[in-house]
């Protein structure tokens, strides 16, 4: 009968360990997704800034006063 108690005890610890591992994995996944989302937003901002700078540079010299 003591071997059955030992098995039940081990099962409880194993299921607790599995639940804790799942929670840790879920937390790491959420952190990774948050990091990727932040990176994506930063890249979009950089691209928007670069596009604005490129379009403003394209206008330089577009109007030339030749009647001076």
Query: Mean pLDDT per 10-residue run, the chain (68 residues)?
Result: 59 89 96 96 91 69 68
User: Residue 40 has what pLDDT?
Assistant: 95
Q: What is the CA radius of gyration of the chain?
A: 30
pTM: 0.57
DSSP 5-54: HHHHHHHHHHHHHHHHHHHHHHHHHHHHHHHHHHHHHHHHHHHHHHHHHH
**Residue 58, SS3?**
helix
């Amino acid at each position: 009968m003591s071997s059955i108690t030992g098995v039940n005890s081990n099962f409880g610890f194993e299921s607790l360990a599995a639940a804790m591992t799942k929670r840790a994995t879920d937390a790491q996944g959420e952190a990774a997704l948050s990091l990727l989302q932040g990176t994506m937003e930063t890249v979009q901002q950089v691209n928007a800034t670069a596009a604005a700078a490129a379009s403003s540079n394209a206008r330089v010299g577009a109007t030339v006063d030749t009647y001076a």
